[in-house]
Structure 1
Amino acid sequence: MLLPVPTPAAAWVQPDAGAPAMETVTIRRDPWGTPHVYGDTSYGLFYGFGYAMAEDRLYQLEMARRSGNGTVAEVLGADFVATDVATRTGTDIASIRRQMAALSAEDRAMFDGYAAGINARIAEVLAARDRLLPREFVDAGFDPQRWTAEDTALVWIGLILQRFFGGTMEVANLALLNDLVAARGERIGRQIYDQMRWRDDPRAPTIIRQPAGADEASSVPVAPKPATRATAPLRPLSSSGAVAFRAAQVALSGLAATEGMPTASNAWVLGPERTADGVAILHNGPQQGFTNPAFVAAIGLHGAGYDLTGMTPVGLLPVLFGTNGTIAWGSTVGSLDTNDSYQEQLNPADRYQYRFNGRFVAMDRRTETIRVKGEADRAVVLYATVHGPVQSWDLPNNTAYTIRRSWHGAEVETMLGWAKAAQASDWTAFMTQAARVSASITWFYADVHGNIGAAGLGALPRRPAKQDVRFPARGDGSMEWQGLLPFSANPKAYNPGAGYFASWNNKIAPGLRADGAVFGLVDRVNEITARLDGNARLTREAIWDVGNAAAHADLNIRYFRDGIGRAAAALAPDNPARQAADAVLAWDMQLTDADRDGHYDGPGVTILQAWLSAMAEAVFADDLPPAILDTLRDLGYPAPGGRTPGSVRPAPVASLLFNALRGGAAGVPQHYDFLNGASADAVVRAALEQAVGQLRHRFGADMARWLTPAAAHRFSKVNAIGVPWAAADRTAALYQNRGTADVQYVLRPGGMEMCSLMAPGQSGFVGADGRSGAHGDDQITLFERGACKPQAVGAAQLATGSATEKTLAVPRDR
C-alpha cells in the first residue's frame, strides 16, 4: 500500500543523486499484533511508527494529544475545563517552540516523520470512515485532527512530565503540620508531625545499597538540614487554601477520575552470578494505571541507527522500556527531589503582585481561550511568578503557591536523552544520555556482557541550607536555588556487590531526603527482595514469578505477622483470639482465590484488615484530629465491584503503626508515645480480641466463614489523567498489583530473549459496530495466568513468519 506524503525539507539529509525518489517503509506485525517498522532514515522510520500507532490507537492518540495541549473540553465538554486549565498552566508554549526550533535536522526528522505517519492514517480513515473510524469518534461526534511535531512534544510534557514528574507534597505537608499544631499545640503537634512525615529513616530499603563498593557510587544527594527556625516562618494554610490546592492537584493529575493512578513501577535486575543461565536478566513492570487499552503500546524500530523492541506510552517518540539486542533498559519513578513549591506573599492591595527581594513585583499573566463543547469559549487568565506558574491561591492568608521544576526549559532535551539511550551499546554511552534527563526517574540497565546498573536521574537543585524540603520554600527571594548540581552528584551504581537491584519506587540510596514519600522499613519492595535475597541462582521462570508473587502479595501482613503471633501466644489454644492469630500465622500472605469461589483464600486477610482497623482506632484516635484519622482508616485494598486502584501500597496506617510498636527500636525517633505507656504486646492483643469479637458478630463463630470477597481487575476506559479514551472498561478475573505492562529480557550473547505481557492487548480499535480489533483483549488470559508471550527483538528475528506485512512509500520530495 503506497501513501505518498510530502516530507519537510528539514526532515532528512540530502540524498545522493542516485537515491530513489521514495523511501520504502515496511511494517510487519507479529501474531500478537506488535508492529515492527523497517526504514532507512529517521523520518521514514518514525513515519512508520506514527502510522502503526494510528492504526492501533487512533482515538487514544487523539485524546493523548488533547490531554497534552489542553483541548479536551473542546470535544468532551465542560467537565474537562479544569483539566485543560491545569495542563495549560504548567505548559510554557513559547519555551517549547524555542526548544523545537533548536533541534538538529536529524532530531527534527523524528517529530516530523511521526506526525506525518499519523496524518497519513487519518486521511485513510476519513476516506473510509464507515469502516475505519473508531466508534469513540462517532459517539463523541468529532473527527481526528491533524497531528503536528509540536503535538508530540506537548504529549510528553502535558501527559507525562507534568503528571508523573511534576508534583510535590510540600503544601500538603504544611496543611498536615498546621492541623496537628492546631489540635495538639506547637510542641506535641510537631512531634507527631515528625513521626508522620520524617526526614530520613536509615533503615529504609534502598535500590543502591551501602556501604558502597569500588563499583558502586557513594555520592548521594541529600537535602541540607534545615535551620532550627526560619527568620520569617511560613504562613499557615487556610482550610479554603487546602481545598483549592487539592482541587488543582486533582485537575492536574486526574486523581479523582483515575482512581488513584498512576502510582508506581517496579523493576529487578540480576547479574550473571544470580541467574541459572549465567547471564544478566532485567524485569520491568511500569505501573502507569490500568486502562483499556493499556497506557503503553508495543513497537519495534529497525533502521536509521535503531534496532529495538519495547513499549512506550501512546504518542511518545522514546521507547521507555526496551532492548536493542545489546542492552536492555527500564525504569521506575524517581525519588530525587527536582521540584519545589513556593509560598508567595501577596500584596494586600493587589493580589496579583508578590513580594520578591524586598518589593512587590507584578505577576506575569497570559490569557488562554478554552473552547468548550456546546458552550461559549472561556477566557482564562493564568499567572506566574519568577518561580513558576501559580497553582493555587490561599487568599484568607494572602498567599499563593507556585511550582518550580528543574526540568523546565529542558523538556525536549529530556525526551531526546531517553530516545537516544536506545542506541547505546554500553554503560558509559547509556549514562551519557542519562545526563540529558532532567526529570526525576530511576533507570535500570543490563547488557549481554553480564553488566547491570542503576541510576537516579534528574537535575538536582542546589538549595539554600535553611530550606526544609518538606515544606514550601519562601518566595520572597530568600530561598532561591543556587544553580543545579552536576550529574556526577546523582546516585548510580554498576555491578553491585549484592548482584542485583530491586525497586518498587522505594528510596534510591541512603541519606536521601525529599518532600514526598516517607521511606521506611515498611516498603512493598520487600516483597521483591525477599524472593531475591540469598545465594540461589534463579531461573528465568523464577525471576518472572517474583512479579507474580508481588502482584498478589498482601502488603501489610509481613510487618505484623510475628507480633500478632507473639501477643497471642500466652492465650489458651481454644481462645478465639489465639485461633485467629494461628490463622494469620498459617496464611501464605497472598491475596489469591485458588478455588474461584469469589473470596480470597482463608480468613487471614479478613482478620488482618479487622485488626488493622482496630489498631488505628486504639492507637491513634486519641492523638489525631478526626480528618487525619480518617486517612488512616482507608487500608487501600481493592474493593469488590468498585474501583481498581492503579497500584496498591502498604496501608497509610502501616508505617506509622509499625514505628509506634517498635518504639525506641524504630528507625524514626519516637518522641511522642502513641501507645500511652502500654506494651506493644498488650495493645496488639487487645486489638486482636476486639477484631475477633467484631468478626464473630458479623460472620458467626465458624472462622472458616470469615472470608473477604475477591476484587476483580478492571481496565478503565479513562487514561492516566482521567480523560476517557475508550468506549468501555474491560475486566480480568482477579485484581493484580502488577505492571501496566510487564517485560523480561534475558541478555544472552548472540541471542537476546524477550517475554512480555500487556493487557488487554495491543489494539484499541473499536469499530462503529462495537466490535474490537483482533488484538483488543487477547492478552487478558495471559494476565489472569501471570504468563508472558515471547517477543521478537531485532530486525532479523521478525524477518520471516510475521502475521501481516504492509509497505508504505514515503516521498523524499523537498
Structure 2
Amino acid sequence: MKIVLLLLAALGALAVAGLVFFRRSLPEVSGDVTVSGVSGPLELVRDRHGIPHIYAQSVDDAYFGLGYVHAQDRSWQMEVNRRVGSGTLSEVFGPEALGQDRWFRALGLRRVAEENLAHLGREARAALDAYARGVNAFLEEGRPLPPEFVLFGVEPARWTPADSLVWLKVMAWGLSANWERELLRVRLGGALTPRQVAELLAPYPGDAPVLVPALPALHGALGPAVGALLAAVPLRGDRAAGSNNWAVDGARTESGKPLLANDPHLDLTAPSLWYFAHLSAPSLNVIGATLPGLPAVLLGRNDRVAWAFTNTESDTQDLFIEKLVPSDPTHYLTPDGPRPFTTVREPIKVKGKPDEVLEIRVSRHGPVVSDVSEAVKRLVPEGHVLSLSWASLRADDATFSFPVKAALARSAAEVLEATRDFHSPQQNITFADVDGEIGFIAAGRVPMRRADNDLKGLVPSPGWLEQYDWAGFVPWEELPRSRSPASGRIVTANHKVTPPGYPHWITSEWDHPYRAERITALLDATARHSVQSFAAIQMDVRSGTAELLLPALLRAASPTGEAQRALLDRLRAWDLQMRAGAAEPLIFAAWLRELSRQIYEDELGDLFGPAFGERLAFLRNVLSDVDGQARWCDDVRTEPRESCDEAAGRAFQRAIAYLEERYGGDPARWSWGAAHPARSQHAVLGGVPVLSRWFDVEVASAGDNHTINLGGYSIGDEDGPFVSRSGPGFRAIYDLGDPERSVFMLSTGQSGHPLSPRYRDFGEPWAAGEHVPMVTRRDAVERDALGTLRLRPR
C-alpha cells in the first residue's frame, strides 16, 4: 500500500509539474516586448473574447503583428499546416505519414508556392515578408512552446513567405475534388453500364444525365491502379462540405443599407481552421476571419465594404493518361510528337527510418501522380502514366493578392476589380458596401474545354489527343456575376450559378439547390431584414432531404408491433426540423442510410464501400421512378423481383434494429444530438484514447447534410455514420448600415493551446447560434479587455 501511495503521489506530482510547465507556454497578453523586424511600436489588445486587435503605424507592421499573434496562439497548427503542404510530416511522425507526404510532393505544392512569389504585387509580397518577420520574432523569444512540440520533439524552423502560400494551396486542394470523382467513375464503370453510372451520380435537378463515353481499353486497364491511387492519397470522401452566403440591398433591410451573411462549411478541427483578428493602421482597418499561417483577413470587412465566399464547385482538375514512347520511356506522346518528361527529385526525411527519394515526372499537363508509389506504378497499364492538370498549379497564380487588396478597398467596385487576381479555387465572392451596392462574381480560373471534348474532364482523358487539351481559361469578363439585381438579393450555396444560355461549361457537379432554395424562401418571407433575422436563417435546420423523401418512405413503411407504429406516427407528425434534442431526425437518418444500402449495394458489390454515400438526387429519382429508375430497388441477388415500397419497408425494420442495438431499446432516450455531435478534431491527437478528451472539442449539434445550418456526416463511416465532421466553423453577418453592429462566431475558440480557457469556449455558444461583436472602435475593444501587449522595435 505504501508503494502504491508513493507511486500515486509521484504521478500526481509529475502531472502538476507538467501542467505548470505547459502553462508557461500560454501566450503573454500584457506587458512590453522588444522585437526585431518592425519599424514602429505596435499594440496588441486582446478583447474579452481573446480576439487580438492590432494597432500599428504602418500596414506592413500590422501584418507583422498578425504573424506574431498567430505564432502566439496557433504555432502548432501553423507547423502542421506547412508540413502538410510541403510534404514533411514524416520527418516528425515517421512512416505512417509517408503516403500523405509522397502525394503532396508529387503535386509539388511547395515548388509552385515558391514560383508564385515572383508573380505577386508589391503590397502582397510586402505583407508576406512582414508576416514572416512577425512569426519569427515570436519564435526568437525562446518562450516555451505548446505541448505538442514537446510531445513530438519538434523544433520549429523559421517561417518563410512560401510557407504561407503552401497552406493557401492546401486549402485550394481541399476545395477541388474533381480528380476523385473522375477515378470513382472509372471504378464504377467496371461494374455498371454508362447509364447506370450517370443515374447513380445523378445530375443537377433539371439537367440531363451526363453519359460519359466509355473508353473500355483504357479505363478497363486503369481500374486496378485507380484503387491503389485512392488508397495512397488523402481523400475528402463523401462528407458534405460547401458554404452559404447571401446579401440583400437596403430596400430589404431595417437600416436601409445592405446586409451580408457568410458561413463556410469545411472540416471541423480543433483548433478551428479560422482565427479572428483586427488590423488597424493608417489606410487600413480590417477585421474578420484569418487562416493561421496566412497574412490576410480572408473573409471579413473594413469600414466600407464586406466580402464573403462559397465554393463554386467548378471542374478545375483533369486527369490525363499519358502514352509513353515505346523505345524511350523518358518521353511521352503529344499531338506534336514525342516530348521528354521533366524530372524532379524529392528527398523525404522519415523519422526512425532511412531517408527516401521520390522521383516525380512532370508532363505538359502537370505532375505524374501515378509516380506517388511503386504499387501504383506497377498497376498503371503498361506503357502509360497518369498526370494531373489543376488550375492552382500554375506559376503565375496570384490568388493571395485578393485579400490584401480587398482589405484596402473603398467600394464594391474595388472589391470586384480585386477579384481579377483570384485564380484558385474558384469561389462565389459576394460583396456589399456602405453606399448600398451588392454583387457577386464566381472568381477563379476555369478551364475552357473544346466543343469536341466529349469527356469534359469527367473521366481520365487520352493525353496525346489535342481535343482533350485545355484551350486557356474563361476570361474574367465572362465569369458568372451579378451586380445590384432587381430582386434586391443574392444567394449562393454551391448550387448552379450560371444563367440559362451561359456559353461556358463550368461543371456538371453543382451541389444540390436545397440550401439555396430554403435561404431564398426565408429571405422572401420577411419584408425588412436585420442582423437578428439573418442569424435565424443561419441556424435554420429544416430538412430539405426529409421534405423530399419522407412522404414516399412513410407510404412504404411496414411496422411490426405497437412500438414501431408509434415511431411512424411520430415521423408523420414531425415538423422536419433536425433539432439536436429530437429523436425523429435520428430515425429518419437511419432509415435513409439503410435504404441507400438496400438500393445499390447489390449492383456495386465490392465497390459499394467506396461509393456509399447519401445520394439525395439519385434516391429521389429512384423513389419517383424517373425514367424507370425504380428498377434499382430490385435486389439482383434474390428472387422474386422487389418493389421500392418493399425495399423501403425492409430498410425501416433494419434501421430500427440498428438504433436499438446502438442506442438502446428505449426510443425515449434517442436523440439526434447524441448521435450527431459536432466533433472538432485535433489534427494529430484527435481520436487518441485519453488524449482526445483534452484536444478534441465536441458539442451536441443540429442540422444535416442539406440544411442551411449544415452538419456534415458520412453514412459510409461505420464507426460514426452520423457524427458531424464538417459544418459552419465560422459564421459572420455584416451590417453595412453600421459595420460596428456586425457579428461573428467560431466553432472552437481563439487559442490553439488545450490548457487555455480560450481553446473551446466558443463551442457551446456556436452550437446555440450565438455571436460575438465584430467591433473595431478602440473604446469598445478595451472595455473588459484581457490585456495589452506592446511590441517595441529593437
Fold shared, TM-score > 0.5 on shorter chain: yes
Q: How does 1:628-647 map to 2 (within 5 A)?
A: 628-630=607-609, 634=613
CA distance in 1, matches of 2:151, 2:96: 17
2:402 counterpart residue number: 417
Match of 1:548 among 539, 544, 562: 539
Contact 2:40–2:793 under 8 Å retained in 1: yes
CA distance in 2, matches of 1:673, 1:96: 50
2:736 counterpart residue number: 747
Match of 2:355 among 354, 363, 377: 377
1:787 counterpart residue number: 770
Q: C-alpha displacement at 1:613, in angstroms?
A: 1.8
Q: C-alpha displacement at 1:446, in angstroms?
A: 1.7
2:198 counterpart residue number: 194
2:417 counterpart residue number: 432
Q: C-alpha displacement at 1:730, in angstroms?
A: 2.2
Question: Is residue 149 of structure 1 aligned with residue 161 of structure 2?
Answer: yes
Deviation sequence 1:71-127 (CA, Å, 0-9, x none):
221122221122222222222655544442455544332111111111111112x2x
Question: Is residue 23 of structure 1 aligned with residue 40 of structure 2?
Answer: yes
Deviation sequence 1:741-783 (CA, Å, 0-9, x none):
111112215x5322111132101124xxxxx223222212312
Contact 1:332–1:441 under 8 Å retained in 2: yes
CA distance in 2, matches of 1:799, 1:712: 35
For structure 1, the residue ranges without an aligned partner over 5 or more in a row are 8-21, 182-188, 205-222, 595-600, 635-650, 767-771
Greater shift in the superposed pair: 785-794 or 683-692: 683-692
2:13 counterpart residue number: none
Where 2:313 maps in the other structure, the secondary structure is: coil
Q: C-alpha displacement at 1:34, in angstroms?
A: 0.7
CA distance in 2, matches of 1:515, 1:104: 31
Contact 2:330–2:341 under 8 Å retained in 1: yes
Where 1:763 maps in the other structure, the secondary structure is: coil
- One-letter amino acid of the counterpart of residue 327, structure 1: V
Deviation sequence 1:107-160 (CA, Å, 0-9, x none):
332111111111111112x2x43xxx2111111112222112222222222x22
Contact 1:763–1:773 under 8 Å retained in 2: yes
Deviation sequence 1:379-429 (CA, Å, 0-9, x none):
111111110001124423543221112233356511112321222222221
Contact 2:187–2:226 under 8 Å retained in 1: no
Question: Is residue 67 of structure 1 aligned with residue 84 of structure 2?
Answer: yes
CA distance in 2, matches of 1:240, 1:759: 40
2:707 counterpart residue number: none
2:619 counterpart residue number: 657
Q: C-alpha displacement at 1:324, in angstroms?
A: 0.4
2:442 counterpart residue number: 456
Match of 1:807 among 777, 790, 794: 790
CA distance in 2, matches of 1:779, 1:330: 21
CA distance in 1, matches of 2:644, 2:620: 11
Question: Is residue 759 of structure 1 aligned with residue 747 of structure 2?
Answer: yes
Where 1:590 maps in the other structure, the secondary structure is: coil
1:119 counterpart residue number: 136
Deviation sequence 1:328-381 (CA, Å, 0-9, x none):
111112222222221212345555432212644332111111111222221111
Greater shift in the superposed pair: 421-430 or 261-270: 261-270
1:298 counterpart residue number: 276
Q: Which TM-score applies when normalising by structure 2?
A: 0.81
CA distance in 2, matches of 1:315, 1:706: 42
Greater shift in the superposed pair: 604-613 or 283-292: 604-613
Q: Which has the higher contact order (CA 8 A, sep 6+)?
A: 1
Where 2:790 maps in the other structure, the secondary structure is: strand
- One-letter amino acid of the counterpart of residue 244, structure 2: N
- One-letter amino acid of the counterpart of residue 713, structure 1: A
Greater shift in the superposed pair: 163-172 or 77-86: 163-172
1:273 counterpart residue number: 251
Contact 2:594–2:654 under 8 Å retained in 1: no
Contact 2:41–2:56 under 8 Å retained in 1: yes
1:625 counterpart residue number: 604
Aligned pair in 2 of structure 1 residues 672, 101: CA closer, same or farther (>3 Å)? same
Contact 1:323–1:793 under 8 Å retained in 2: no
Where 1:471 maps in the other structure, the secondary structure is: coil
Provide the aligned C-alpha RMSD in A: 3.7
CA distance in 1, matches of 2:430, 2:100: 33
1:485 counterpart residue number: 474
Aligned pair in 2 of structure 1 residues 413, 693: CA closer, same or farther (>3 Å)? closer
CA distance in 1, matches of 2:243, 2:353: 40
CA distance in 2, matches of 1:313, 1:714: 20
Match of 2:679 among 714, 720, 725: 714
Aligned pair in 2 of structure 1 residues 670, 413: CA closer, same or farther (>3 Å)? farther
Q: C-alpha displacement at 1:45, in angstroms?
A: 1.4
Contact 1:308–1:794 under 8 Å retained in 2: no
CA distance in 1, matches of 2:668, 2:687: 40
CA distance in 2, matches of 1:450, 1:722: 47
Question: Is residue 247 of structure 1 aligned with residue 231 of structure 2?
Answer: yes
Aligned pair in 2 of structure 1 residues 450, 176: CA closer, same or farther (>3 Å)? farther
Deviation sequence 1:555-586 (CA, Å, 0-9, x none):
63121133345567xx9999988765442231
2:24 counterpart residue number: none
Contact 1:367–1:382 under 8 Å retained in 2: yes
Contact 1:718–1:725 under 8 Å retained in 2: no
Deviation sequence 1:567-607 (CA, Å, 0-9, x none):
67xx999998876544223112233343xxxxxx2346315
1:171 counterpart residue number: 182
Aligned pair in 2 of structure 1 residues 689, 670: CA closer, same or farther (>3 Å)? closer
1:209 counterpart residue number: none
Match of 2:570 among 567, 577, 583: 583
2:36 counterpart residue number: 5
Deviation sequence 1:54-74 (CA, Å, 0-9, x none):
111111122222223222211
Aligned pair in 2 of structure 1 residues 685, 116: CA closer, same or farther (>3 Å)? same
Deviation sequence 1:240-273 (CA, Å, 0-9, x none):
21122213442xx5x4xxx877832222323333
Where 2:485 maps in the other structure, the secondary structure is: coil
Question: Is residue 605 of structure 1 aligned with residue 586 of structure 2?
Answer: yes
Q: C-alpha displacement at 1:199, in angstroms?
A: 5.6
Contact 2:556–2:649 under 8 Å retained in 1: no
- One-letter amino acid of the counterpart of residue 517, structure 1: E
Where 2:539 maps in the other structure, the secondary structure is: helix
Aligned pair in 2 of structure 1 residues 400, 48: CA closer, same or farther (>3 Å)? same
Q: How does 1:352-371 map to 2 (within 5 A)?
A: 352-357=330-335, 359-371=337-349
Aligned pair in 2 of structure 1 residues 353, 279: CA closer, same or farther (>3 Å)? same
Where 1:414 maps in the other structure, the secondary structure is: coil
Contact 1:75–1:372 under 8 Å retained in 2: yes
2:756 counterpart residue number: 773
Greater shift in the superposed pair: 107-116 or 94-103: 94-103
Match of 2:58 among 32, 35, 41: 41
- One-letter amino acid of the counterpart of residue 424, structure 1: A
Where 2:136 maps in the other structure, the secondary structure is: helix
Aligned pair in 2 of structure 1 residues 719, 274: CA closer, same or farther (>3 Å)? farther
Question: Is residue 686 of structure 1 aligned with residue 646 of structure 2?
Answer: yes
Aligned pair in 2 of structure 1 residues 801, 171: CA closer, same or farther (>3 Å)? same
- One-letter amino acid of the counterpart of residue 25, structure 1: L
Where 1:23 maps in the other structure, the secondary structure is: coil
1:528 counterpart residue number: 519
CA distance in 1, matches of 2:624, 2:240: 32
- One-letter amino acid of the counterpart of residue 241, structure 1: A
Aligned length: 714
2:264 counterpart residue number: 286
- One-letter amino acid of the counterpart of residue 435, structure 2: H
Q: C-alpha displacement at 1:36, in angstroms?
A: 1.3
Aligned pair in 2 of structure 1 residues 411, 732: CA closer, same or farther (>3 Å)? farther
Where 1:482 maps in the other structure, the secondary structure is: strand
Aligned pair in 2 of structure 1 residues 585, 347: CA closer, same or farther (>3 Å)? farther
Aligned pair in 2 of structure 1 residues 288, 432: CA closer, same or farther (>3 Å)? same
Deviation sequence 1:439-485 (CA, Å, 0-9, x none):
11111112223322222111122222122221223210412222222
1:162 counterpart residue number: 173
CA distance in 1, matches of 2:402, 2:459: 31
